Structure 1
Amino acid sequence: MGWWSRTTTTPPRAKEEPEHTSAAPKPPTRTRHTTTLTRDEQADLELQAILQELDAEHAAGPGAAAAAAAAAADTQPESLYPTSMSCRQAFDMAFYCQSLGGQFQNIYRYGGLRDCSESWRRFRFCMRAKSWPEPRRAAMVQEHYRQRAAVYKMGPSSEDVWEVRKHPVVGAFMEDPDVG
């Protein structure tokens, strides 16, 4: 019969919840006849804790909200880019770029073949970066990703080839494709 007919007779184990390491105060736990809370009870406690934090911020006044917004706006752009790079992923991307499927995808999206030299350049950069000391490697990888993001935002788009549809398609799947 195979594995389809097998059933387990052991009861499922409860999931172990990861410990929270944040500095936020933990909500008080209710004691019941069991030591674990159900998923709904835990969600209720977390919601109560969030509502208490929001009430405390609201009671502090608009000055505290402005300070929190300024702290959020002060996010360092360096933290937006990764500090490590996978050479295997870079190789796979370069190899796919040169494959028939990758080139066909580019013809469909952008209307022409793609020059894969940038993908191979990324792979060579990754291989060179492996020998650099850690602080220099992290800084150079971040700079690489920063430049790549700028090129991506300014590069070609599928809208360069395809026109944006102004009206929805009506009755596109109404007819049977086998009849006809």
Structure 2
Amino acid sequence: MTDTTHNDDIDTTALFAEIEKEKLGDYETCSASETFDAAFQCYTLGAQAINYYRYGSKKDCAGKWEDFKFCLKTKTKSSELADAMLRERKANKEAARMRGRNSEEVWEAR
């Protein structure tokens, strides 16, 4: 009795998909839907109230819209270029955040 089925055949489609997934996993990406949601969430009463309590002023949401527009720009670029753009922007935003105000400048420690 001879078995005619071969279990040694490799599913090339699944293998190719796995290789592509590994390659893309190394790149920085952004989600347009998440950045869009963050921009709208910035205008909510809760977010504005928290910012007013912490910093004493209305929250400026222009940066959230800039993040959304920047994310859309990266979608038309190659993975390598988009990765470089996103990493540079992330580093610049972190540096700006470290230079910015914090709540201790508004409130006195008890």
- The unaligned stretches of length 5 or more in structure 2 are 1-26
Asked whether 1:96 is paired with 2:96, we answer: no
Q: Which residue identity is paired with 2:92?
A: Q
Which deviations, in whole Å up to 9, do the C-alpha atoms of 1:109-128 show, x marking residues without a partner?
A: 11110111111000110011
Cα distance in 2, alignment partners of residues 161 and 96 from structure 1: 24
> CA shift at 1:162, angstroms?
1.0
* Residue in structure 1 matched with residue 72 of structure 2 by the alignment: 127
- Aligned structure 1 segments of 4 or more residues deviating by more than 4 angstroms: none
> CA shift at 1:84, angstroms?
1.5
Asked whether 1:147 is paired with 2:92, we answer: yes
* Residue in structure 1 matched with residue 6 of structure 2 by the alignment: none
> CA shift at 1:157, angstroms?
0.3
Cα distance in 2, alignment partners of residues 109 and 96 from structure 1: 17
Secondary structure class of the residue paired with 2:57: coil
Compare the two structures and name the one with the higher helix fraction: 2
Cα distance in 1, alignment partners of residues 68 and 44 from structure 2: 16
- The unaligned stretches of length 5 or more in structure 1 are 1-81, 166-180
TM-score (norm 1): 0.45
Asked whether 1:138 is paired with 2:83, we answer: yes
Cα distance in 2, alignment partners of residues 150 and 157 from structure 1: 14
Q: What is the percent sequence identity of the aligned residues?
A: 38
Residue of structure 2 aligned with 1:115, choices 60, 80, 87: 60
> CA shift at 1:104, angstroms?
0.8
RCO higher in structure (CA 8 A, sep ≥6) = 2
Cα distance in 1, alignment partners of residues 97 and 40 from structure 2: 20
> CA shift at 1:140, angstroms?
0.1
Secondary structure class of the residue paired with 2:77: coil
The number of aligned residues is 84
Residue of structure 1 aligned with 2:32, choices 79, 87, 90: 87
TM-score (norm 2): 0.71
Output aligned runs, 1:1-180, within 5 Å. 83-165=28-110
Cα distance in 2, alignment partners of residues 100 and 85 from structure 1: 26
Cα distance in 1, alignment partners of residues 87 and 28 from structure 2: 5
